[in-house]
A and B are shown apart, each in its own frame.
Chain A
Amino acid sequence: MSRQSRTRTGLRPSFDGALAGIAVASTAAVVLGALVQVRYGGYQMPLETVWRALFDRAVWTNPDVLATILLGDGHAELLGVYHDTAVLSDATAVVWTQRLPRVVVAVFVGANLAVAGAIFQAITRNELASPYILGVSSGAGFAVVITIVFSLGTSLLPVAAALGGTGAFLLVYAVAWRGGTTPVRLVLAGVVVGTVFNSLQTGVFYFIDSNGAMRTAVSWLAGTLTGVGWTDVELIVVPTLLVVPVALTAARHLDVLLLGERRARALGMRVETIRFGLSVLAILATAAAVSVAGLVGFVGLVVPHAVRTVVGSDYRRLLVGCLFAGPALVVVADVIARLGLGGVQVPVGVVTGLVGGPYFLLLLRRTESFNEF
């Protein structure tokens, strides 16, 4: 009997209908969203042209062209693989250099925010925690507005956002620390630091003098994917490749952390060390997303929450689900942000917010008791 159940436990993670459902549905949403995103816009093309552009032999059979597109002219030249991309057809150029990278960035932003949210929900033992709960958003926002006010150059914005977010997080930890931390202390410290930085940010806003700079600042704070390219993909790929495997390995520790601090300690966990390490991991994921897309809201809150209601609170399954559902939400939201209003593009964060609000309304109406955690 015990052997039978052991086999069952062993098999369960590899065959999980709910998780497979999320993966399939999310992948379908990403693919459909990508097709719509690539086809429509200022330069319209029939689906057939899209297809031909995506599988253009001029790109796929020529590694130098592919490398030049992905790495950008400068880096390609540096590596000696530069090839003039003017040889490409208009359709191919639009698809490969403008629309496709935007979809790819959306995928990575969604994955990072969802994973970061899932981790922060375990750390704070609060299923309504978001990646921004420990001050990251306000720190990054402040740094971005400062960068714009002092005209330090828009190329510095990703760095400023990452540094500001990380700085605020460290400050939160320092404020919360008193011979150790607790989830409540961390959240409260997040409120303290967040409030101060938000005030500073609002104050500094008034020193922005040009309308264009104001628009840049606002779209950064709302979270936008307008104008992203392959350089942004490069920026976010590296931290993602680190975060995802480590998070999946740490899933078991997140599960134990969720059992409560005393219990985790009784099981021999160095709670403070693990908690700080996991926070750093989640901050890395958040900073990666923020540096390319700004402060896209609600993704890191809604996605882990929704996935949890489907696959349960086992963190390995939850994180895998987030890796699929996060990209789906951001890709689809970005289609709406870019194409939904005809000519005017809105920041993708506006759309994710519009999706996130009703999700919780639905939850409020349908759920009797909230004890999933």
Chain B
Amino acid sequence: MPQRPHTDTDEDPVESAAVLGTDLELGYGDTTVVDCADIVVPAGEVTALVGPNGSGKSTLLKGFSAELAPDAGTVLLDGTAVHDRSPKQLASELGLLAQENDAPGGLTVGDLVTHGRYPHRGFLDALNDADHAAIDRAIDLAGVEHLRDTALSELSGGQKQLAFVAMALAQDTDVLLLDEPTTYLDLHHQLRVMEVVRTLNEDRDVTVCVVLHDLQQAARFADYLVALDDGTVYDWGPPEDVVTEDLLADVFGVDAAVSYDDEPRIVPRRALD
């Protein structure tokens, strides 16, 4: 099992890491969920965390966002530990779109996105021009302009998710973490969300780390994949290297056919015992 990142990339992955976890142990109480030597989210790329339920994807994300203090090891963001930053400082550098998306139904999309500016405002500050610009840009990028004055309670699940994505975009961070942003969405909105993420990465050079349930989607949209198995890194690298029939058998317990002609294609056949 390769614990170290592959070395077949152009640059040293540790050098170009936006987020770097070293000798990381994360858990709740006495239970350790994640225990991995090195984990790298390369700057300027889209990295997908994949793995079966309970493999520690969300926990790892909580460690990255300083929501969970590591039992051992460190998480570095741009070279300094995430835990050394004040909450506002961290939130202006690293955005997190969590899975739970309940919010007051009476809130409009515009109001919600405005809250994305929270880390950039002082206790008494009103919105300034930079805030308005960031809000407009986020709403535009997420494609929810037409919903700006609509209450969240009147949105479909997919529209709501795009509104929350817009809020995270308004935060205007260099790194964005997303925890299963496409789960429970219809196909159209799954693709919309992933396209927004892709555009954000390409146009604004934002480093993205996204937990995805759908392996094929991860293989299509991400530059790098981190496959987690029972809290450790099973494999790391470009999708073609990581998503293999062995991975599906070893980590996911699935017998599947994997092919890369023009698109990654995963055809699961049966569950392995």
- Interface residues in chain A, defined as those with a beta carbon under 8 Å from any beta carbon in chain B: 1-2, 5-6, 8-9, 249, 252, 255-256, 258-260, 262-263, 265-270, 308, 312-314, 371-373
Contact = CB atoms under 8 A, between A and B. Distances in A.
A256 B136 contact: no
22 contacts: A1-B145, A2-B136, A5-B110, A5-B149, A9-B114, A249-B124, A252-B118, A255-B107, A258-B103, A262-B98, A263-B98, A265-B67, A265-B87, A266-B67, A266-B97, A267-B171, A270-B87, A313-B104, A313-B105, A313-B107, A371-B153, A373-B105
A274 to B, nearest CB: 10
Contact of B91 (A1, A9, A266, A312): A266
Contacts of A255: 107, 111, 115
Nearest to A261: B100
B6 interface: no
B151 A312 contact: yes
A266 B98 contact: yes
Nearest to B179: A262
B145 to A, nearest CB: 7
Contact of A372 (B104, B145, B148): B104
B81 to A, nearest CB: 17
B110 A9 contact: yes
The 3 closest A-B pairs by CB, nearest first: A268-B91, A268-B119, A312-B106
Contacts of B86: 268
Interface of B: 65, 67, 86-92, 95-98, 100, 102-107, 110-112, 114-116, 118-119, 121, 123-124, 132, 136, 139-140, 145, 148-149, 151, 153, 171
B65 A266 contact: yes
Given A255-B115, A266-B95, 19 more contacts: A2-B145, A5-B145, A252-B118, A259-B112, A260-B98, A262-B67, A263-B103, A265-B87, A266-B65, A266-B91, A266-B96, A267-B119, A268-B86, A268-B90, A270-B87, A308-B106, A313-B104, A314-B106, A371-B153
Contacts of B136: 2, 5-6
Nearest to A311: B106
> Which of A255, A260, A308, A314 has the most B CB atoms < 10 Å from its CB?
A255
A114 B260 CA distance: 63
Contacts of B124: 249
Nearest to A255: B115
A258 B112 CA distance: 11
A233 B46 CA distance: 62
Contacts of A270: 87
Nearest to B85: A268
Nearest to B170: A267
A252 B121 CA distance: 11
Contact of A314 (B89, B111, B153): B111
A294 B114 CA distance: 40
A269 B118 contact: yes
A183 to B, nearest CB: 13
A285 B5 CA distance: 57
Contacts of A252: 115, 118, 121
A18 to B, nearest CB: 11
Contact of B87 (A9, A258, A268, A372): A268
A258 B100 CA distance: 13
B172 to A, nearest CB: 12
Contacts of A6: 132, 136
A263 B102 CA distance: 10
A248 to B, nearest CB: 11
A58 to B, nearest CB: 44
Contacts of A267: 91, 115-116, 118-119, 171
A1 B144 CA distance: 13
A109 B223 CA distance: 61
Contact of B115 (A256, A265, A308, A371): A256
B115 to A, nearest CB: 5
